Structure 1
Amino acid sequence: MPISVSSNQHKNNFKWEIILLLLVLQLIALPNPGFGQQASLVKYIQPFSGTSASTTMASQHIEDKTERLANTIPAVAPPFAMTQWTPQTQLSETKCLAPYYYSNKKIYGFRATHWISGSCTQDYGSFTIMPISGKLKTKWIDIADNYSHAQEVSSPDYYKVTLPNHQLITEITATLRSSMMRITALKSDSVYLLISPNSDQNKGFIKIDQEKGEISGYNPVHRIYQGWGQAAGFSGYFYIRIQKSFHVSGSYAAGKTTNQPSVANKKDIGVFAGFKLQKGAQLIITSGTSFTSIAAAKLNLEKEIGAASFNATRAKTKAAWEESLAQVKIADNDERRKTIFYTAMYHAQQHPRLFNDIDGSYPQFAGDYQIKKITKGNYYDDFSMWDIYRAQLPLVELLQPKLANSFANSLIIKGTQGGWLPIFPCWNSYTAAMIGDHSTAFLAAAYNKGIRDYDVNEAYRLMRQNAFEMPDSADYLNGKGRRGINSYLKYGYIPMEDSIPNAFHKKEQVSRTLEYAYDDYALSTIAKDLGKVNDYKELHKRSLNYKNVFDPKVGMVRGKYINGEWYSPYLPDHREAYITEGTPRQYTFYVPHDMPGLISIMGGKKALENELDSIFTKKEYWHGNEPGHQIPFLYNYTSAPWKTQKQVSKILAEEYGEGAGGLSGNDDAGQMSAWYVFAALGLYPVDPVSGVYQVTSPLFNQATISFKTGKNLTIKTIRTTKNSIYISKMLFNGKILRQNQITHQDLINGGNMTFYLQEKPGSK
């Protein structure tokens, strides 16, 4: 049913759409000093990157085939949106199955998804719309359609595909919480829209109102990892409006149809709306989403899209991406590298996920369908914290400090509402997924960079509680607190006898010890600044606990028993139960906060250099997973920083590509992509808490970073030859930069960095 809009309102809407389109065109066409005419940057984004099994060199080293899937999707939505829209080539909300894979041959519809980009988790609270033609059918096997990539168009603001059997063209655009779909008939026929909540639990509800042209429903969310299968305390709600009257409607379950307008809590439920369309006729479907109620989903739709046209909505979302991407402008003749770079920026801006409605309402963290309202900033969730504290969140801190502040405040809200600062908050719940306590690492990094517009004292209380206290048994089983904290506090490391039974990742004692030592260091920096002298001394002492699992006889970390004996046999290049997703050799280099201390126990800078040489010579460096992402930059702590320049240049060239297999492993909510963004700019936050970036040779001839303060930093690269990758000299604001590092404050103060590169290492 068409939306009822007055003639004057139509004129006003049309006028504002024209103004918006003109503004977007002006934004795209504006000249930029030093760059000439700046073309659209969105055109460089390749959303299919990472939607197929990795074809990079690093992926061939992976033993677990699931780790070869970057598990990204061609998501349509603005940056950090509540809901992304994607074609669906996989059914269900099953763990480790992304909604879309490039190699799949059929489309089962178009999903409003809450998939965590680049992860091996599961979707939740989603729903799917599938247009079909001909006779009404509701079984997935009957309605799925073949499709061709030649008939696919994908960008962050728009997706289009032709369904050949149904002879329908589907186009999608989206806002932060809402979307528009445009269906065009390529022949005169009966056309049906099938809308289904996607519950693997056979739960959910959906209703169709033929008179009003509305559909609404919800899909209850269930936890995974800690509390697997339990209700998460909220649902994914949706409200859909169809801007054309339909002549027939009903519901279905398990392939059987009925004329009843609603259905709930059965297998494969959904509703259908039927139309008679002439060739060239179009259907416009608008959808709103929410995590609080159907009414909120409707309000989100009305406020974000209202009566706007498809093209105007798309233009608004494209403008949002252009503005975001334009914070880093590249001047370089290599178009392929620009594509990889801006695609990486796209992937690094999918999560954390916006969780509140347009009026500020959101589901209480770890609550039971209780609603709260945020009055300042926004509330976010889906923090893949073990991954993103390394580079993805630091990239947000650098480019969008106000957004980073909302992330920090969201974590504090979760801790206050749930009683404990969460370790890995996803599905708006405690999970105890992965290891470490890196909400603390992120909060400390933000604090040390001056991002502090939240309750600092409450933040400190929550972080300190995680670091010093053991939750009661019920809270611990629910995923609260550090895993193995009692052992860690008692022995200064987690011994082999503690198998960490109440965690998704069990054991991994050495990796946990190393990462808790880093988190203790992170918290110590805030304790020192706040004048918490005793806490600072204790935490600083504990930050050296990494030494307790370092075996000087083998020169690496190793599993250790309570009596001080080492685990045998020692296999440094094998996956061991006491190491997280890696090997002892790989994890030995995880001491980002105390490289001088690691160098000392290794036997000096040359010993560190030799061990770094060894990991690359043996091809044991694994770029497809996070624990080693800092390793190539550690040569900066030796007398051979040119080896950082060599290895980083090699990784940039070989481990990222344009195609569907262009990511080395799970993108993990943008961490893999953020690594590329930093490294291509010649920077990397080995220790994000310190606010210091290690420097390497930049990839591009010139890059200009625009900070939210209004200041700019231009990074210029001057090569003696095309193949020059080694730094002979660095200048920062006209002065020679003698150290291989630079501070966060220096960067955001703006100015000019100039790198002089040559083909061979050493000075000119």
Structure 2
Amino acid sequence: MAKKYSSVYKKYLFLVFAILNFSSVYAQQSALIKYVQPFSGTSASTTMASQHIEDKTERLANTIPAVAPPFSMTQWTPQTQLTETKCLAPYYYNNKKIYGFRASHWISGSCTQDYGSFTIMPISGKLKTISTDYAEDYVHENEAATPSYYRLNFNRYKLQIELSSTLRCGVMRITAMKTDSIYLLVSPNSDENKGYIHIDKAKGEISGYNPVHRIYQGWGEAAGFSGYFFIRIKKVFNTGGVYSEGNVSENHTISNQKNIGAFAGFKLQKGEQILIYSGTSFTSIDAAKRNLESEIKNDTFETVLAKTNAVWEKSLSQIKVSDLNEKKKKIFYTALYHAQQHPRLFNDADGSYPQFAGNYQSKKISKGNYYDDFSMWDIYRAQLPLIELLKPDLANSFANSLVLKGQQGGWLPIFPCWNSYTAAMIGDHATAFLASAYNKGIRDFDVKEAYRLMRQNAFQMPDSADYLNGKGRRGINSYLKYGYIPMEDSIPNAFHKKEQVSRTLEYAYDDYALATIAKDLGKKDDYNQLIKRSLNYKNIFDPQVGMVRGKFKNGNWYKPFYPDHREPYITEGTPRQYTFYVPHDMPGLIKLMGGSKNLENELDSLFDKKEYWHGNEPGHQIPFLYNYTASPWKTQMQVNRILNEEYDEGKGGLSGNDDAGQMSAWYVFASLGFYPVDPVSGNYQLTSPSFKQSTISFNNGNKLNIRTIKSSNNSIYISKITLNGKTFSGTYISHNDLIKGGEMVFYLTEKPKNK
């Protein structure tokens, strides 16, 4: 009995120590960072609409509890999956084992793959180097996370592990809860049996790299750079060596074998700690070391944590929401956190970065920073517009990075990830983003070069080698010849094949986007051609069914027609859903549909049939389209419902892939009361805000205070809006009016104004 009591008492003390430790760290957190829930989206969705989705993979938000400043080079995350395989995030909440702590380049909320990562796994007792032997069972009660801090207690190994990080570097603190031998296992995570690792016992250093390989176009080929790391451990090694497939050696170096790694051994007394400093880079091991010296050097764990806390607090506090509903504040700030993961910082502290689509060549940026991992089909809709609104200088760096990619690779990339061409999705939305930024006055990049590259994509077909490599618009010759992409063109050289109707619709939008710049630059011929092409959506609208539909070269429609089924000519959706994708010409679409009342009826039908699917991007603008009818109150009703049903607290709180923050950015905009249906126009469609009050601080020094005055607790419908004391009419507000600041008041009632 006494022995049992002693065991329980020890566990109690262990738990108390952990709680006190975390409480001390958490006390450093400021007013807003405490609302962020990093585990949100790390499990299958539990939201209402997601339960109707048959394909369970589409219910995974695929976020990770990332520890890193906003838009950093490397995110640190606990690792419950060993692989860098496509569509498997490094961390899933429901997995039962931890395999270490990964320096990750996973695209948050995506179905892509990690790359160039490495993992550190601390263990105690005997040395084990096979993952099934050293993996630790863990429980979430021993786990805690914020955007700048992660902690986990290992029950079996009696170790406490804590993480914090800077833009390019990480720091891990290990505390021994009993006297024992401790081993650190460091693994480059190559699925290709490639990579290199070196251990220097005398200096207490471990370094290496994990070569990056392309996916989509050029799948499996070398991407022309690696994920490099440099680790410095502030304790003398008792022992050290390398291993592969469980075979241990006291050699200093190992490379290009399966499951390679290095180990370092120590003897720790109970309560003793080890600090592990890690630098990362995409150019070299030496650069990773220099990044570490630049960003952390010998800072204490508390110093690194305090600095990263401050960075997050400053960023989150650009939008301050006030409401009695604490749950909504948690969802909001978690969304704002997820919307600030990507694009990824790619250059070293000295400005060096791997050349885009290069062959292990480096460039140096002279101004700003260089970024990659643009999940462009997703983020041009709301995530990048959110950055344009809050951080225009950062948006300018994004724009400049895209221009540099185009110059270095010869063509403006469609979906630049892994610092390579991919042609992963459809559309040409680097053009949409550049036009959106340009039209909002974000122009501190080479506009002339940007226009040349955008125009090349819009008017030219690459040669066969470049096209196969992922350059240029897919199906551009067909699009230019017919004014749409006919069913005969199956788009074989793309990850997403066919999808001809969706491509036509999205190219029409991109043509409109480029036309706005052509007009401003005085390029009249280009403007006239592009603005005409922006109406190409009409060529695949069948008036007999009132929807878009597959079409052959001879003008015949594809049969049979299933409006609510996934069809081969539609991207990740149905004809009914994609019919509403004409954000740049809603008056034209309304005319095709037979008037605004018919548009309203079709929107009603979509929602009544429960065909609106919020878990994917093609329909994100749809709830706001009632603003183009006589019943804008239905926008307010549907947006309010989606905010309440499709976002929640906890691990299942997102209804589908977050896709580099797009799903989260939708929540941020919609809950504030406005959304960029057409980002290029610079206009935001209005809806009723979710919060009693919110204040947006713009980088021009202005602030916009948004207040809601409700006639009752159940009021969600707009009866009146005032802007700076004057009645505001209309269903949208411009970007320029927003950033002037002031006060916007929404008066809400229980009953719609025009019902």
TM range (shorter): over 0.9
TM-superposed CA distance for 1:486, in Å, is 0.2
Give the letter for the 1:221 counterpart: V
Distance 2:407 2:110 in 1: 27
Gaps of 5+ in 1: 1-23, 29-38
List per-residue Cα deviations over 1:687-734 (Å, max 9, x = no partner).
000000000000000000000000000000000101100000011111
The aligned residue for residue 17 of structure 1 is: none
Distance 2:358 2:430 in 1: 20
Counterpart of 1:668 in 2: which secondary structure?
Answer: coil
Is 1:394 aligned to 2:385, yes or no?
A: yes
The aligned residue for residue 125 of structure 2 is: 134
The aligned residue for residue 150 of structure 1 is: 141
Is 1:701 aligned to 2:692, yes or no?
A: yes
1:262/1:323 CA distance change after superposition, 3 Å: same
TM-superposed CA distance for 1:398, in Å, is 0.1
Structure-1-length-normalised TM-score:
0.95
Counterpart of 1:634 in 2: which secondary structure?
Answer: helix
Is 1:249 aligned to 2:249, yes or no?
A: no
List per-residue Cα deviations over 1:121-163 (Å, max 9, x = no partner).
0000000000001110100000000111111010011000011
List per-residue Cα deviations over 1:389-418 (Å, max 9, x = no partner).
000000000000000000000000000000
Q: Is the 8 A contact 1:729 1:763 kept in 2?
A: no
Q: Is the 8 A contact 2:633 2:754 kept in 1?
A: no
Moved more, 360-369 or 54-63: 54-63
Distance 1:300 1:204 in 2: 21
Q: Is the 8 A contact 1:61 1:622 kept in 2?
A: no
Identity of aligned residues (%): 76
Q: Is the 8 A contact 2:123 2:183 kept in 1?
A: yes
Distance 1:47 1:72 in 2: 8
The aligned residue for residue 13 of structure 1 is: none
Is 1:208 aligned to 2:212, yes or no?
A: no
Q: Is the 8 A contact 1:360 1:374 kept in 2?
A: yes
Distance 1:93 1:746 in 2: 45
The aligned residue for residue 541 of structure 1 is: 532
The aligned residue for residue 17 of structure 2 is: none
Counterpart of 2:611 in 1: which secondary structure?
Answer: coil
The aligned residue for residue 675 of structure 2 is: 684
The aligned residue for residue 292 of structure 1 is: 283
Distance 2:233 2:205 in 1: 6
Distance 1:208 1:58 in 2: 51
Structure-2-length-normalised TM-score:
0.96
The aligned residue for residue 718 of structure 1 is: 709
The aligned residue for residue 12 of structure 2 is: none
Gaps of 5+ in 2: 1-24
1:454/1:27 CA distance change after superposition, 3 Å: farther
The aligned residue for residue 476 of structure 1 is: 467
Give the letter for the 1:733 counterpart: N
Counterpart of 2:677 in 1: which secondary structure?
Answer: strand
Give the letter for the 1:713 counterpart: L
After TM superposition, where is structure 1 displaced by more than 6 Å over at least 4 residues in a row?
24-28
Equivalent runs, 1:144-183 vs 2, <5 Å: 144-183=135-174
Moved more, 61-70 or 566-575: 61-70
Q: Is the 8 A contact 1:635 1:641 kept in 2?
A: yes
Distance 1:253 1:514 in 2: 51
The aligned residue for residue 318 of structure 1 is: 309
Give the letter for the 1:623 counterpart: H
Give the letter for the 2:320 counterpart: K
Distance 2:572 2:449 in 1: 33
Give the letter for the 1:96 counterpart: C
The aligned residue for residue 227 of structure 2 is: 236
The aligned residue for residue 15 of structure 1 is: none
Q: Is the 8 A contact 1:728 1:763 kept in 2?
A: no
1:517/1:498 CA distance change after superposition, 3 Å: same
Give the letter for the 1:544 counterpart: L
Counterpart of 2:72 in 1: which secondary structure?
Answer: coil
Counterpart of 1:93 in 2: which secondary structure?
Answer: coil
Distance 1:25 1:402 in 2: 31
Distance 1:277 1:476 in 2: 57
Distance 1:369 1:530 in 2: 37
The aligned residue for residue 189 of structure 1 is: 180
The aligned residue for residue 327 of structure 1 is: 318
The aligned residue for residue 360 of structure 2 is: 369
The aligned residue for residue 58 of structure 2 is: 67
Correspondence for 2:375 among 384, 392, 413: 384
Give the letter for the 1:204 counterpart: G
Is 1:349 aligned to 2:340, yes or no?
A: yes
List per-residue Cα deviations over 1:614-640 (Å, max 9, x = no partner).
000000000000000000000000000
Correspondence for 1:97 among 88, 97, 101: 88
List per-residue Cα deviations over 1:581-635 (Å, max 9, x = no partner).
0000000000000000000000000000000000000000000000000000000
Q: Is the 8 A contact 2:85 2:113 kept in 1?
A: yes
Q: Could you say what the CA RMSD is over the residues aligned between the two structures, in angstroms?
A: 1.2
The aligned residue for residue 493 of structure 2 is: 502
Give the letter for the 2:171 counterpart: M
List per-residue Cα deviations over 1:463-505 (Å, max 9, x = no partner).
0000000000000000000000000000000000000000000
TM-superposed CA distance for 1:62, in Å, is 2.4
The aligned residue for residue 492 of structure 1 is: 483
Distance 2:470 2:309 in 1: 39
List per-residue Cα deviations over 1:198-235 (Å, max 9, x = no partner).
00000000000000000000000000001000000000
Give the letter for the 2:508 counterpart: A
Is 1:559 aligned to 2:550, yes or no?
A: yes
Distance 2:484 2:461 in 1: 15
Give the letter for the 1:330 counterpart: V
The aligned residue for residue 254 of structure 2 is: 263
Give the letter for the 2:340 counterpart: Q
Is 1:339 aligned to 2:330, yes or no?
A: yes
TM-superposed CA distance for 1:27, in Å, is 11
Q: Is the 8 A contact 2:631 2:754 kept in 1?
A: no
TM-superposed CA distance for 1:255, in Å, is 1.1
